[in-house]
Structure 1
Amino acid sequence: MNAAKKIRKLIESGAAEGDVAVLVDLARSLETGVPFQLSQLNALDMRNFDLAMELIADWRFDHHIPARRKLTDVIMNLHEESAAESVDLAPVAERIEAADKAE
């Protein structure tokens, strides 16, 4: 199994959130060109560090492009879900209630 597929499986299983977050950031950086702090790799356990190195090598040499595409789709969906979850609608609801009472 290639690195992109392994990371996608880790994301889907919900395992080891801290390490998976670093791997997701790395994959997002490779795909989009956004900066990635290499110091994050030091926090990974050895197995996931090796997986990160494998992902970099695969990306560098354009290996496993379909698996990379699937991983990118999963990562982008995660980003959209986290953005939707971070929107706090409580203040909006309070303003609507206050406006209704004022009328």
Structure 2
Amino acid sequence: MRAIKAARILIEKNPGSVSAQTLSGLVLALASEADFPVSDLYKLDYDHFNLALKVLEEWRLDRYYAGKARLFDVSVQTTELGPQPK
């Protein structure tokens, strides 16, 4: 599975999680060519950190991949929701 799709699924399943919020922030920064604090990536667990790196790689290699639009939409919605209490 492509990292972009895996990130979208992770964000959709648990939009209030720290990982979903961080990945959403990364996607929004990539889409808008804005700054993103790299230190936020280090707060992710190992698997989600690697997923973020793969998203970066795919974003760079495949800038016009249609799946990015869906991931972007989910990321906007997640960011608007903010962190959810457990």
TM-score range, shorter chain: 0.7 to 0.9
The CA distance in 1 between the partners of 2:76 and 2:19, in whole Å, is 18
RMSD after superposition:
2.1
Question: Which residue pairs with 2:81 in the alignment?
Answer: 82
Question: Which residue pairs with 2:36 in the alignment?
Answer: 36
Q: Answer whether contact 1:2 1:64 (CA < 8 A) is retained.
A: no
Note the C-alpha offset of 1:67.
Answer: 1.2
Residue ranges of structure 2 left out of the alignment (5+ in a row): none
Figure out how many residues of one structure are paired with residues of the other and give that number. 82
Question: Which residue pairs with 2:65 in the alignment?
Answer: 65
Q: Give the alignment's TM-score, normalised by structure 1.
A: 0.70
Identity of aligned residues (%): 30
Q: Give the alignment's TM-score, normalised by structure 2.
A: 0.82
Note the C-alpha offset of 1:76.
Answer: 2.4
Runs ≥4 residues deviating over 4 A:
none
Q: Answer whether contact 1:29 1:36 (CA < 8 A) is retained.
A: yes
Question: Which residue pairs with 2:2 in the alignment?
Answer: 2
Which of the pair has the greater relative contact order for Cα pairs under 8 Å at 6+ separation?
A: 2
Determine which structure has the larger helix proportion and give its number.
1
Residue ranges of structure 1 left out of the alignment (5+ in a row): 84-103
